[in-house]
A = this chain, B = another copy of it.
Amino acid sequence: MKALVKPKPAPGFLLTDVPVPAVGPGDVLIAVEKAGLCGTDHHIYAWDGWAQQRIKPPIVVGHEFMGTVAAIGSEVRSIRAGERVSAEGHIADLTCLLCRTGQAHICEHVEIIGVDRDGAFAQYVAIPENNVWRLDADIPDVSAAIFDPLGNAVHTVMAAGVSVKSVVVSGVGSIGLLAVAVARAAGATSIYAIDVNPARLELARTLGADAGFLSSDPGIADEIRRRTAGNGADVLLEMSGNAAAIDLGLRVLRNGATAALLGLPSRPVTLDLADRIIFKGITVLGINGRRMFETWYQAEALVKSGRVDPRTVITHVLPYTAFDEAFALMEKGEAVKIVLDFKGDIAKP
């Protein structure tokens, strides 16, 4: 089959032929149709410091996708060939304390497809039955292809709790933008977006933000205070991972507020814990992945009911062969979310 492969420890991907993955007794083989391009994929493509440390080439990359079940292992009971599916790309061990208490999303032994084992930028991917998510007929293909980042947004929003609250979204890349839309649908009464990119802020307003602020604006804290009756905001959804943005985000919160951190700082952050967190009585939530499978049910409910339309952040759908062009668009900041199409060219296994 065709696959996008990181062949060796160097920049770039290789479009090449690899064997269709083996299907164990508990596995599901999925013919990939659409797959989302993620910042993580770009780290691996560009071969940055993080990628050099984490990735062991050769490996098939990619982890956001949807497709159709092509075959199932002998012990699979809940999934059938021909079903339209997506999948949770974090493969937990299912036997540890965390997996056995409903917290598989933070399993210490997790393996991520396209990072720790072969991924989904290929004509086929094999996934354990437990990770497969059957798609509702009302969910469009391109939306289904990005349920993984949508899930990051949903998990962050739902962990923080935004119902009848004022919410600051710090960093409106594709996940931050989805978080704006999800927060709006989940009942936020006001939403303030902060970013370095005016076009993204404009899109955030379209998706439900009441106001957008450039990070460089020195009046953000005053303006958010003013709009929240002098108190500060109830909730921070931190999607940037930027140290200054984290500090600003905590500053614009009211005492007793909640900050959910999804964005990953690339290095340690110097924080005034006393003034930003302890005296204010702030609750800080570290957010990782998506809850299995509350988040997926919530994402389905949001998209199926029409409250959230993930297509609003998809700027490009390209054939998978155009991957170099896709990464170039990402680098130039001309794309928000890019979906690759694998369907035009599917060989049966």
Which secondary structure dominates where chain A touches chain B? loop
Asked if B103 contacts A307 (CB within 8 A), the reply is: no
Q: Is A53 on the interface with B (CB-CB < 8 A)?
A: no
Stretch at the interface among A33-41, A139-147, A257-265, A336-344: A257-265
Closest chain-B Cβ to A185's Cβ sits at a distance in Å of: 6
Interface residues as binary, A153-195 with B (CB distance below 8 Å gives 1, 0 otherwise): 0100010011111100000000000000000011111100000
Q: Which of the residues B95, B271, B281 comes within 8 Å of A105, measured between beta carbons?
A: B281
Closest chain-B Cβ to A18's Cβ sits at a distance in Å of: 27
Q: Which residues of B contact A288 (CB under 8 A)?
A: 278-281
The distance in angstroms between the C-alpha atoms of A269 and B246, with both chains bound, is 14
Stretch at the interface among A64-72, A297-305, A320-328: A297-305
Count of A residues near B, CB < 8 Å?
Answer: 73
Interface residues as binary, A57-76 with B (CB distance below 8 Å gives 1, 0 otherwise): 00000000000000000010
Asked if B273 contacts A268 (CB within 8 A), the reply is: yes
Q: Is A270 on the interface with B (CB-CB < 8 A)?
A: yes
Closest chain-B Cβ to A251's Cβ sits at a distance in Å of: 13
Q: A278's closest neighbor in chain B, by CB?
A: B286
Q: Which residues of B contact A294 (CB under 8 A)?
A: 101-102
Asked if A283 contacts B286 (CB within 8 A), the reply is: yes
Asked if B281 contacts A284 (CB within 8 A), the reply is: no
Q: Which residues of B contact A95 (CB under 8 A)?
A: 77-78
Q: Which residues of B contact A108 (CB under 8 A)?
A: 255
Asked if A271 contacts B274 (CB within 8 A), the reply is: no
Q: Is A22 on the interface with B (CB-CB < 8 A)?
A: no
- A sample of 19 inter-chain contacts (CB < 8 A) reads A96-B231, A98-B255, A103-B255, A103-B256, A108-B255, A161-B163, A162-B163, A164-B186, A165-B301, A185-B189, A187-B188, A189-B301, A261-B277, A269-B270, A269-B271, A270-B271, A271-B271, A279-B288, A281-B288
